Chain A
Amino acid sequence: MQLTGLKYGKQLMDIVGFPVAKTLNETATKEEIEAMLKESGKVVVKPAFMGGAGKKGKAGLIKIVDNYADADAARRELFFAKHTFGNAEYKANGVTFEEFVESDAELYLSITTSTLTRSPVMMLIVEGGVEVEELPDEKKAIVPFDPFEGLKGFHVNDALIKLGCPKQYISPLVQQIPKLWELYDNYGMTMIEINPIRMKKGKRPLPVACDIKAAFDQDDPAYKRANLPGEVFATELTDFEQEINQLRTYQGQSDVVEINPNGTILPFMFGGGANSAATEVLGDRAIFSSDFGGNPPYQKMKDIAGICYKHFLKQANIVQIIGGKANNTDIFVTIKAMLDALRENIKLNPDIHVVIGRGGPNVVQGMIYARDLLDSLKIPYKMFGFDSSMIGVLNYTLELDAWLESKK
């Protein structure tokens, strides 16, 4: 759950009163844009993406203009811009016009969790728009701090001194940056990054956030306090993911990410390990990556399976049920649920094949149930116990899939 840019980032900054560049959205009128141009000389035009689309500047998707005609041209050009980041292609739906903050200094700041210190950390760099990973250590100040005490002014002060920050900027930064901890700590965030902070010229330099990236913890309901519109996160999910997500509980049991909506293997993965292994081996033959482990009750598993079949059974060659030797998940209950749902949906694809690799409590009972049901439906199947390599089972599924594809 991430957001980037000022379209919604400004709303976050406003909560704690951290100064942020003035921002207009795509509906801005000629008068509004011209007023902004008059005030700041230039305007920065950026496409507005939902989710965590980073590295827009590198992709040439940020335009700095100094007249309305160019601003308007940039609006048209960037309104539906496409941007590939990770495995996802993001499509913009709108733009922002942002005040160009005239400044002699830029900074990078983030607050996140460090797995090295096992604590929250602040990272400060007295350069803006940088690639953090490419920077030598001496240019970064990484400051772990006690979450009970929080990020204090002295943490910021010490870091800025270490980095050799020009003195006139230190006091305004010490005043403003700790506010971001309040935001991070109280609004369910796992990361906030401001890159850059530009020091706006004036009687007293003012740190202004010119781009924001934030990540929220979906397991922490505090993120809802920010009152961000649902669309900010909803667009990260496909229809299928959203439908499954409605069944999400803290025991897991319903984590999915759509991998390839045109895939031909419909995989029910159980457990984080099996999820990693199966996602790796099946690659984009898998329609989605999933983890339904955590001993889901019958009705929930059946509902989940029903949704999976509704969306994808028709196109699938194989239903794959894969997991190691379960500790706690009742194999009979889960297999029965998935197979009962298959029976109810079998009209969508009577030519489906089933491959199961599983172990755990009541595994034999589950497989016998599957055998009887699949026999009655005349569905071909193979079921492997946990004494067969899980990877071997997945590879077998891939080979079977290739053969079924070749017959099409």
Chain B
Amino acid sequence: MSQTNPFPFYVGINSLEEIANKETRCVVMNILGGESKGVTPTSHEFSGGNIVAGVQYGRSGQKMETKAGDIPVYGSIKEIVDAGIDFDTGVIYLPPTAVAAAADELVTHNPKLTKIVILTEKVSVKDSQFVRALCQKNQIDVFGGNCLGIGNSWDQVRVGGALGGKAPGESLMKGSVAVYSNSGNFSTTVPEYLKTGGWGTSTVLSSGKDLYIQFAFAEFLYAAENDPRTKAIMTYIEPGGYYEKQALDWIADGTFKFTKPIVACVTGRWKANLTRAVGHAGAIAGGGDDALAKEKWFDDYFGVGVFDPANPKVSKKGVRIESIQDAPTAMTAVMKEIGVEPDFASTGDLSLKPWFVNDQEAGYPGELQMKEVEAMAPYNDTIAKLGNQIGAQLSREAMRNKSGASMMNPKTQITEVHGVSVLDLVTEEFAGTNFFALTKNQPSAEELPLANSIMNYFTAIGAEFMDIAVTTRANEALPNAYLGAAVMMNGDRQVFQDYRAIIDKMIDLFYTEVWGDKSVNDAVIDKALGQKGVLPEGEASAQEAAAFDYFVDRIAKTGQESIFTKYAIKYAEQNKCNKMNVLMAAMILSLAWKALTGRQIPKETALDIPNYLHLNGVIVACSAPDYANNAFWKKLTTQEDLSLLDLSFSDTCFRILFNREPAEKELFALNAMLNLTISNGPGTVSAKGSKGSVSGGNPIASSYVGWMVHTGRDHGGNGFEAIKYVNDYMGDFDPYGASSADELNTKLEEIAKVAAGDYASLKKKAKEEGDLKYFKVPCVNHPVFKGKPVNYDPRETHIRDIFKDRNEVNPFQEFYHHLVQQLFNAGATRNVFCVNIDAVIATISLDLIWKDIKSGKMPEKDMQDIAFTLFQFARMVGCSAEIADHRSRGNPIDCRTPASQCIWVG
């Protein structure tokens, strides 16, 4: 074919229609490679089957399946040609080092070849240079490297790469604009933008932006001029290379005739500051080919300045735009200049339309706030289909040594649960923390009264397993075991299953009606009530009916009515069900709604919250040491005085354990200590116990027992050691009887001196005897907070400061501060050790039980049990968080240790 065009080098294409059309027949090299496998079937199907064969070295005889029929795969180009398959276009998907050879193979074996499209990025300059020279000699047009494909919107044909993605028809709408883009992505994005101005496309070419652009701007403009479909050109240009200058110069000097307008976008001005290419290899300028220079080439050609959307001024030759967002407006202005109407009605605009928004109460000022906007079709349907899933969607992974619930901050050594330091939990109400562990949110001040009542109610009904605990306790079991026995009895009982079913149904009934808004909505409630018998059947006992009335009243009084509670009450009036269970589920769902719809917790966890809280109630109820003589316990558990449910949950815990009303100071101390010790990170033996049980595939009650049986004399039970140590040294001294702060201080110092002296002698003697297992003073020193002349555990300091702020002194904690000083004075320690966090637990415990010990009311065994029981109360909360987290994220049996990591020590 003799060349008719005026180029000083070979160019075979004379009109854009010729680049890719219904007649184009392609062979794809590396057709079964990763990238092609995803792209080629779409191209083939979209184009009505334009790929006649593929090459995959060494895999002759295979095929690529597509909806438009199978594409045969051969081992080489020669095999394809020998098989009599005709094709004019070779598409190369091979890695960069193989591209030049592939081009050679195509040219050598296929005399009918007219075009090569190279998708590959990062082809070396030397290989591009080779391809150029080779194809010039053999009269082949080359597109790419780094060409993302060529689209013909009129013929609905795509050649080469993934231009237009999985739905090329969406971007390639028939129209009058030819698009030439240095960016592959923009060869899809720009047509999308043009659509909003009502402009479709004729041919879209991703030119690539390597140093060598083989089919460059001049060739494109020449072919566009000869293309009757094309009325104007939209081009996106980056710095580097003189291709555009050459094209515009050739038009100016009459090398070829060009009459159609161009809208040109040049970006990359800022890139002049860079000395190395990012993104496109060729997008780095030398001296005179930076973005500024290119802008000037175009501006000089157009004869007007850059396009101003507010004051659109263009010439018949076109206009330059500053960013691609101006493409539709500028194109409309340019087309108007030549009297061309839009191809179709606008498909929308490019204003900011966030599909998903959540400011998370960050307090954005007005201009930064935005509301969600419904996405364009068909994306709105997909969002509706996929987006209605409620709750967090967590991916599953091996969670053996991981947790999304807690962590020990390695720097501060302070445990955090759901991102909140346990130190910050100290002043929260314990009932709130029971919810927080599961919902990641503390109930608000308004919600707390209801949260307390719920926890108290679960404690009241939790006593039904007291006989199991009593029997186990009589067999000398530790608190973890007798409480665990009571918990284990619960299995996955019907009421847990009912709670889940009720919450599940309520989510189903209301979520897509009210989204995050849980306030009463009578119309929606009435609609839901139209569905009869949708909740589990049952009947409330007399006790439950009374409790139901109590809660109805409580909800009203505390202003906690929600769409769920109102629905529950009305549903119970109209249907046969256990109304207490329905109302309980509704109340808990109300308290969890924000976390659930805010996608902070998965739905699975929301369904299980009553189950966790119910078990917490069992633990507290069954822990009463002197239950037979505990009037409070009796009244609570028989539910004869429902006003007791109004108490704070920590008050309930206190009265059950100590069989008396707490002083305000005691209540604060107990509440603080429980919150402080809910977790010590996922690596603790208790947390690992719960995770192990979850990974084994157990119901929640069994997973509770998992952590409980991993506590014991050494984990949780050892607080007693410190209590006993301090108590023994106090002897007959009653720190609460001291007449003044000075007297107390002097006495505590004296006692500490004695204790330190004893310890120094003991240590000396033990060392002389070579005994390394001698008694160590409990609760002092820490592996991290050590080494300074005087050391502090910041956690202990924090609690001490909180007490100080309340003008309260825990004498036992003060004793410990004297003790560490005296130990140093006595030469027993090399510096002043810190008083560690365990001392806080021990001294608060001692503070709480002191009176009962001194009065003889509490025998040593109970003293031991109480310290351990307090630990159970706290850890049930922390471990509920751990269990919920592991259940929603973990994989089955993910806590196993691979055999390869197990060591035999024979």
Asked whether any CB of chain B lies closer than 8 Å to the CB of A147, the reply is yes
Give chain B's interface secondary structure class: loop
Chain B: how many interface residues by the 8 Å CB criterion? Answer: 111
Distance (Å) between the CB of A130 and the closest chain B CB?
13
Of A114, A132, A340, which contacts B395 at CB under 8 A? A340
Q: Is the CB of B121 within 8 A of A328?
A: no
List the A side residues contacting B39 at CB < 8 Å: 328
- Interface residues in A211-260 by Cβ distance below 8 A to B read 217, 219-222, 236, 250-252, 255-257
Asked whether any CB of chain A lies closer than 8 Å to the CB of B873, the reply is no
- Interface residues in B218-276 by Cβ distance below 8 A to A read 236, 238, 240-243, 246, 267-276
Distance (Å) between the CB of A101 and the closest chain B CB?
27
Q: Is the CB of A276 within 8 A of B274?
A: no
Of B186, B270, B277, B356, which contacts A324 at CB under 8 A? B186
List the B side residues contacting A396 at CB < 8 Å: 352, 368
- Interface residues in A1-37 by Cβ distance below 8 A to B read 1-2
* Complex-state Cα separation, A396 to B370, whole angstroms: 11
Question: Known contacts being A52-B275, A118-B212, is A391 close to B192, with CB within 8 Å?
Answer: no
Of B97, B209, B273, B376, which contacts A387 at CB under 8 A? B376
Closest B residue to A120 using CB positions: B129
Q: Is the CB of A375 within 8 A of B600?
A: yes
Asked whether any CB of chain A lies closer than 8 Å to the CB of B903, the reply is no
Q: Is the CB of A389 within 8 A of B273?
A: no
Distance (Å) between the CB of A83 and the closest chain B CB?
13
* Complex-state Cα separation, A379 to B419, whole angstroms: 13
Asked whether any CB of chain B lies closer than 8 Å to the CB of A46, the reply is no
* Complex-state Cα separation, A13 to B130, whole angstroms: 25
Give chain A's interface secondary structure class: mixed
Asked whether any CB of chain B lies closer than 8 Å to the CB of A96, the reply is no
Distance (Å) between the CB of B405 and the closest chain A CB?
12
* Complex-state Cα separation, A88 to B280, whole angstroms: 20
Q: Is the CB of A325 within 8 A of B189?
A: yes
Closest B residue to A191 using CB positions: B286
Q: A49-60 vs B: 1/0 string, CB under 8 Å?
A: 001100000000
Asked whether any CB of chain A lies closer than 8 Å to the CB of B166, the reply is yes
Q: Is the CB of B276 within 8 A of A115?
A: no
Asked whether any CB of chain B lies closer than 8 Å to the CB of A80, the reply is no
Chain A: how many interface residues by the 8 Å CB criterion? Answer: 102
Q: Is the CB of B599 within 8 A of A325?
A: no
Distance (Å) between the CB of A218 and the closest chain B CB?
8
Q: Is the CB of A222 within 8 A of B126?
A: yes
Of A219, A251, A347, A363, which contacts B124 at CB under 8 A? A219
Q: Is the CB of A389 within 8 A of B121?
A: no
Binds A, one of B357-365, B444-452, B571-579, B670-678: B357-365
* Complex-state Cα separation, A88 to B97, whole angstroms: 32
Q: B193-216 vs A: 1/0 string, CB under 8 Å?
A: 100100000000000010111101
Closest A residue to B411 using CB positions: A347
Closest A residue to B599 using CB positions: A375
Q: Is the CB of B419 within 8 A of A350?
A: yes
Q: Is the CB of B121 within 8 A of A250?
A: yes
Asked whether any CB of chain A lies closer than 8 Å to the CB of B538, the reply is no
Of A147, A373, A389, which contacts B352 at CB under 8 A? A389
Asked whether any CB of chain A lies closer than 8 Å to the CB of B185, the reply is yes
Asked whether any CB of chain B lies closer than 8 Å to the CB of A176, the reply is no
Q: Is the CB of B192 within 8 A of A51?
A: no
Distance (Å) between the CB of A286 and the closest chain B CB?
9
Q: B366-383 vs A: 1/0 string, CB under 8 Å?
A: 011010000110010011
List the B side residues contacting A262 at CB < 8 Å: none
Closest B residue to A257 using CB positions: B278
Asked whether any CB of chain A lies closer than 8 Å to the CB of B666, the reply is no
Q: Is the CB of B273 within 8 A of A388?
A: no
- A residues apposed to B, CB below 8 Å: 1-2, 51-52, 85-88, 113-120, 132-133, 146-148, 185, 188, 190, 217, 219-222, 236, 250-252, 255-257, 269-277, 279-281, 283, 289-291, 293-295, 323-328, 336, 340, 347, 350, 353, 359-361, 363-365, 367-376, 378-393, 396, 399-400, 403
Q: A236-B276, A277-B323 are in contact. List 8 more A-B contacts (CB 8 A).
A: A87-B273, A113-B212, A250-B120, A252-B122, A256-B278, A273-B183, A275-B279, A276-B271
20 A-B residue pairs with Cβ-Cβ distance under 8 Å, sorted by A, are A118-B216, A132-B287, A133-B287, A222-B126, A250-B121, A271-B184, A271-B185, A273-B186, A275-B280, A290-B278, A327-B161, A327-B187, A364-B383, A365-B382, A368-B393, A387-B375, A388-B354, A391-B325, A400-B368, A403-B365
Pairs A-B, 8 closest by C-beta atoms: A273-B183, A324-B189, A271-B185, A375-B599, A87-B273, A220-B124, A389-B325, A291-B279
